[in-house]
């Protein structure tokens, strides 16, 4: 077994707060035990959940100091003595559990092998790191929970966003007809990803547009990535017995959901190897494509968070780890 260096660089937060809480620090390099794997992280990404944790919204789960970052694409550097599915040198991708353990804004990351999957071949680590959390969220919301089926109609809110851009592709692969909202500058992008009907939420009322287009029938499935008023209004465009998956804390008026027999699935993305395995197959076959807004070095994580919080991101913001 080769000697491990004892420290690593990581982007640590010591306080909850604004983007200025990040500090690039030297910290103890972890060692894998039992079924754990030590990964040399090549790329991670910035997700809205990072901003929420940074602000202290998950204060009961994450204790300070901590490391954010819930996407990984990297190479296995060392394995615990009970690891059976991987070997040193394997290239892998995964979503670290959001359970209070350190994330991957760091040179190295420790993970249990059960949630790790082989990185899709023929794409870069930057591209691979754009999938696990965002595409995994869309997967949980549309496939596992809403159980979207061929021929159904789906409304995907914010289709040009990190999660939305993968949701459109997954819904298309499932044989659905896709309505999506985005600003007009992203019209071409979402069309290319597979959206059938694009609604400019800044200029058009999505309820009016969809009811007109569906002869007042509404849609089968709604993927809410926005919450509040958008969720309240989404109930109006749901068919009776429609399914709504929401990935945001609810602060909506659900009065009308009752007469319509709506099922509302609250979705908080789960780490799961099987899902990543299938996604890797789709990626390798060219059926699922990375959608990347920008790639920044980890040292520019503050810019990444500012950009995310400003809104209007086109796909994912990837963070490159350079040693």
Residues near a second copy (CB under 8 A) are: 140, 145, 246-250, 254-255, 257-268, 270
269-283 in b/e burial notation, b at 16+ Cβ within 10 A? bebbbebbeebbebb
To a second copy, the closest distance from the beta carbon of 177 in angstroms equals 24
To a second copy, the closest distance from the beta carbon of 251 in angstroms equals 8
Query: With respect to a second copy, which residue has the nearer C-beta, 19 or 270?
Result: 270
Structure-derived torsion over alpha carbons of residues 299, 305, 310, 314, reported in degrees to the nearest 10? 80
Query: With respect to a second copy, which residue has the nearer C-beta, 64 or 254?
Result: 254
To a second copy, the closest distance from the beta carbon of 210 in angstroms equals 20
To a second copy, the closest distance from the beta carbon of 176 in angstroms equals 20
Query: With respect to a second copy, which residue has the nearer C-beta, 146 or 195?
Result: 146
Query: With respect to a second copy, which residue has the nearer C-beta, 81 or 255?
Result: 255
DSSP 3-state of 94: strand
Distance CA 178, CA 148 (A): 11
DSSP state letters, 243-292: EEEE-S---S--GGGTTTT-EEEE------HHHHHHHHHHHHTTSS---E
Query: With respect to a second copy, which residue has the nearer C-beta, 120 or 132?
Result: 132
DSSP state letters, 283-305: HHTTSS---EEEEEEGGGHHHHH
To a second copy, the closest distance from the beta carbon of 84 in angstroms equals 27
């Amino acid at each position: 077994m080769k000697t491990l260096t004892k420290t690593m660089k990581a982007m640590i937060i010591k306080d909850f707060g604004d983007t200025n809480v990040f500090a690039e620090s030297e910290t103890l390099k972890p060692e894998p035990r039992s079924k754990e794997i030590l990964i040399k992280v090549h790329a991670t990404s910035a997700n809205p959940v990072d901003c929420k944790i940074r602000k202290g919204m998950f204060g009961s789960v994450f204790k300070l100091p901590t490391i954010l970052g819930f996407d990984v694409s990297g190479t296995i550097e060392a394995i615990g003595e009970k690891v059976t599915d991987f070997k040193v040198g394997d290239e892998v991708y995964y979503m670290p559990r959001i359970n209070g353990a350190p994330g991957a804004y760091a040179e190295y990351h420790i993970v249990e092998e059960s949630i790790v999957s082989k990185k899709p071949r023929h794409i870069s680590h930057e591209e691979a790191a754009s999938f696990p959390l965002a595409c995994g969220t869309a997967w949980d919301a549309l496939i596992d929970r809403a159980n979207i089926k061929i021929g159904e109609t789906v409304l995907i809110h914010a289709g040009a966003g990190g999660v939305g851009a993968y949701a459109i592709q997954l819904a298309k692969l499932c044989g659905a007809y896709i309505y999506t909202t985005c600003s007009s500058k992203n019209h071409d992008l979402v069309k290319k990803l597979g959206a059938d009907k694009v609604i400019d939420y800044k200029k058009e009322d999505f309820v009016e547009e969809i009811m007109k287009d569906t002869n007042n029938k509404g849609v089968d499935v709604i993927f809410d990535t926005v919450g509040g008023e958008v969720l309240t209004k989404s109930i109006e465009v749901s068919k009776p017995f429609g399914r709504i998956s929401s990935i945001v804390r609810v602060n909506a008026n659900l009065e009308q959901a009752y007469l319509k027999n709506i099922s509302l699935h609250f979705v908080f993305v789960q780490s799961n190897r099987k899902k990543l395995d299938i996604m890797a197959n789709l990626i390798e076959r060219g059926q699922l494509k990375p959608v990347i807004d920008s790639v920044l070095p980890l040292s520019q994580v503050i810019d990444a968070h500012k950009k995310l919080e400003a809104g209007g991101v086109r796909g994912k913001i990837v963070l490159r780890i350079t040693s």
